[in-house]
Chains A and B, each alone.
Chain A
Amino acid sequence: METIIEKSLEEAFEEKIAKEIRIEPKDWMPEQYRKTLVRQISQHAHSEIVGMLPEGNWITRAPSLKRKAILLSKVQDEAGHGLYLYSAAETLGTSRDQMIADLHSGKAKYSSIFNYPTLSWADIGAIGWLVDGAAIMNQVPLIRTSYGPYARAMVRVCKEESFHQRQGFEIMMSLCNGAPAQKKMAQEAFNRWWWPTLMMFGPKDAESPNTEQSMRWKIKRFTNDELRQRFVDMMVPQAEFLGLTVPDKDLKWNEAKNGYDFGDVDWEEFWNVVKGNGPCNKDRINTRVKAYEEGAWVREAALAHAQKRAAREAANQAK
């Protein structure tokens, strides 16, 4: 009996997926679907939150008031993205505290790109242009992802994301049109960020065991390699416009496939950073843990205050 019910539930679920009907929080879903989503959405949320750190590093040193206001706004957006995504993950039955604990313990991952340092102001341009560009490439298809709350969060995120890329491109453009030393700064930042950005699309399809199931459940719509190819095809002309050289000697237009051939990512470096040995992994987590711990008294006080006020109101009403 149990298994018959289970089976018909699963069939109903598969039917919805096939018909492009979104899955909503209280709908029945396979345990593995739920787990995959919690992992992916919380990982995405953590990336937005940790992603504030490399850029936050330059807010006080932005070269003008205008740039400072823009960067502040962008970083604030990323906090918002983290919050939309944490909320989406919570609809699957996990708690905010649990997700944060998993981030801090290292159990949960976040995008490795944020484990690289921002050495010069040009890195802020490169991040907006390349990293947010890659994020958009990854996120736009997620607007059609099969889980409703995740898809809706992505609509908001994507709307806000395009200003991020444009402000980054504008920073790069200013530097590239500036003095030779500024142009050099831009090129150096480009060299630093190009390869880590290509890693953002994840391991090669052949080495990405979760991709196939995620595609079947329509959580993912394109494979890692497909998105990486699109990104390269989109970015190379933009780099040419800026007068920057793509740091890849194997980069070549391939007429037959109507796209670029490009060199292989250093996968050893990729896995090394994923495992926690990137230039900033420890620093990023320590910063998050410190902020969380030092904020604990504020969270407790706010709750105590709210409870006291609620009790006082209840007493007044009883009079």
Chain B
Amino acid sequence: MSQQKEWPLWEVFIRSKQGLDHKHVGSLHAADAEMAIQNARDVYTRRMEGVSIWVVESKHVHASNPDEAGAFFDPANDKVYRHPTFYEVPAEIKNM
């Protein structure tokens, strides 16, 4: 039998209502995915906060490195022309 004693950690994502994205709400421990979903229902949706639940074992989440966030997200910094406010629209032009 394995030495592992603590149940694995799962990240919980909830769709609060039909048409919206699933959003990260927190984490919990569970032996398997089925139990993680049931526990997520009990812990995170006691007041109808959700219509759908995703669980992902935390060890499968890969993240960008916060210490390198500056350099990593830098390419977007100087591209103001990606925003509509960069462009001047003549006052005569409506609905653009």
What count of chain A residues pass the 8 Å CB interface test? 30
The 0/1 profile, CB within 8 Å of A marked 1, for residues 58-91 of chain B is 0000010111000000000000000000000000
B15 within 8 Å of A (CB atoms) = no
CB neighbours (8 Å) of A160 from chain B are 46-47
A307 within 8 Å of B (CB atoms) = yes
* Cα of A27 to Cα of B68 in the assembled complex, Å: 10
The answer to whether A307 and B29 have CB atoms under 8 Å apart is no
The answer to whether A26 and B32 have CB atoms under 8 Å apart is no
* Cα of A300 to Cα of B66 in the assembled complex, Å: 36
The answer to whether B43 and A84 have CB atoms under 8 Å apart is yes
The answer to whether B31 and A303 have CB atoms under 8 Å apart is yes
CB neighbours (8 Å) of B1 from chain A are 304
B5 within 8 Å of A (CB atoms) = yes
The answer to whether B26 and A153 have CB atoms under 8 Å apart is yes
Query: CB within 8 Å of A: which of B15-61?
Result: 26-29, 31-32, 35, 42-43, 46-47
The answer to whether B27 and A97 have CB atoms under 8 Å apart is no
A309 within 8 Å of B (CB atoms) = yes
CB neighbours (8 Å) of A24 from chain B are 66
The answer to whether A303 and B7 have CB atoms under 8 Å apart is yes
CB neighbours (8 Å) of B4 from chain A are 303
CB neighbours (8 Å) of A26 from chain B are 63, 65-66
CB neighbours (8 Å) of A73 from chain B are 46
CB neighbours (8 Å) of A153 from chain B are 26
**8 Å CB contact of A87 from B2, B27, B46:** B27
The answer to whether A97 and B5 have CB atoms under 8 Å apart is yes
A238 within 8 Å of B (CB atoms) = no
* Cα of A246 to Cα of B10 in the assembled complex, Å: 47
A90 within 8 Å of B (CB atoms) = yes
CB neighbours (8 Å) of A306 from chain B are 31-32, 35
- 7 closest pairs, A vs B, by CB? A306-B32, A302-B31, A306-B31, A87-B27, A26-B66, A303-B31, A27-B66
Known: A24-B66, A26-B65, A84-B26. 19 other contacts (CB 8 A): A26-B66, A27-B66, A28-B67, A73-B46, A83-B28, A83-B43, A87-B28, A90-B9, A96-B29, A152-B26, A160-B46, A299-B5, A299-B31, A300-B5, A302-B7, A303-B5, A303-B7, A305-B31, A310-B32
Residues of A within 8 A of B (CB): 24, 26-28, 73, 76-77, 80, 83-84, 87-88, 90, 95-97, 152-153, 156, 160, 299-300, 302-307, 309-310
For this complex, 8 residue pairs linking A to B, each with C-beta atoms less than 8 Å apart, are A24-B66, A77-B46, A90-B9, A97-B6, A156-B26, A300-B5, A303-B2, A306-B31
